[in-house]
Structure 1
Amino acid sequence: MSFLLLVAAFVIGTGASQTHDLSMMANFLAQDTFQRDVTFIVLMTSFGLKSAFFPFHTWLPRAHSAAPAHVSALMSGVIHKAGLFGMIKFTGMLDHPPAWMGWYVVGFSALSAVMGVLYTVSQRDIKRMLGYSSTENVGIAGIGLGLAYLGLTWQRPLLVVLGLTGCLLHILNHAIFKCLLFYAAGAIYRATHTIDLERLGGLRRVMP
């Protein structure tokens, strides 16, 4: 689904700019047109699906729950970040985006962060819990990106730098700590043959 939306966005963009050259598409994205606005929303939805923003997150916890721990670590540390890097790539093409784009990304990301926390605290399966936690963390990174959009709108270079820096640092931070957490979940499953938090009391005796 994410791929289909990405293709749709490129079809609109290349149709309007009459070229497949990304630098020319940047000129199209810098124009204040209805087509540009539609392309932006389709792109953000595509990247939101890829990075499991709420409400497009439901595939991620199921995938983590079914996959081996080392696959979950790779998916969370690398593959899961592709949507965020796509957002960052197209941010640089927007020149001075209208304020609604920044608020759109901030609101979308804040909702993802809050709902990710709420889903996380209700889980018993360790790997599903970590999957929902990823939805929270991409939301946190997205808030920084949304602030960078607003900085471009208001021509505040400091806000752009702070927003993008916070976004990139949290992407790196999440890639490292979530990989380690999935490896830890794999070690726990190997020792106890369960990832149900309700059945892991006394773990210190099993894994001294």
Structure 2
Amino acid sequence: MSGKEAGGSADGARGGQVTVADVQELIRRKEELEEQIRANFAVLDGQKGVGMNEPLVDCEGYPRADVDLYQVRTARHNIICLQNDHQAVMKQVEEALHQLHARDKEKQARDLAEAQQEAASAGLAPGPGPHTPQAFAKVGSVSAGSPASKAGLQVGDEIVEFGSVNTQNFQSLQNIGTVVQHSEGRPLNVTVLRSGQRHQLRLVPERWAGRGLLGFNIIPLQR
């Protein structure tokens, strides 16, 4: 797949309103690229474990006779092209998620303003209603010493917002994974409900002694 092909539908999406379906399509293409990259690395592994940088000539400067030079060069070229496409698609996913998030924020603000205006017209104080943000996932476990633990996340916290992901655009845990991949070393704003109270936390995905970049497990909530 070429870089032009990788950017095609996303450019079309940017020309109008980005939808959840657009994001799902980008994620599907990202996974396809990752599978193709793995397949080409497997070709290199099959050539006596040749990687991306090993020389293809022997100590005397002659082409190596123990590997298929055509296959190795082709696989290396494919991997470079596919990795460039993958990087472009990942950027498009992030931009699309941010657009969805911004649009949802604007809609929530409009809905709240309308609710307050209606309440004022009726002589009532606005209270929590259908426009109150709802949680889409719950924290199942938090590892000691992890980035999640340092940020103050606790077991039982209900997640309302995780970076650009919220109830309106959350589809699966893949949404969280995509945001985390693009935010390593950078703080994410996380909003949780704890004992009925909202808490704003700053979580920095980073490498630590345990697995992954977060060190916690979340469970999607049925809506």
TM-based fold match above 0.5:
no
Where relative contact order (Cα < 8 A, 6+ residues apart) is larger, the structure is: 1
Of Structure 1 and Structure 2, the greater strand share is in: 2
Normalising by structure 2, we get a TM-score of 0.34
Of Structure 1 and Structure 2, the greater helix share is in: 1
Which entry has the higher C-alpha Rg, 1 or 2? Answer: 2
Normalising by structure 1, we get a TM-score of 0.35
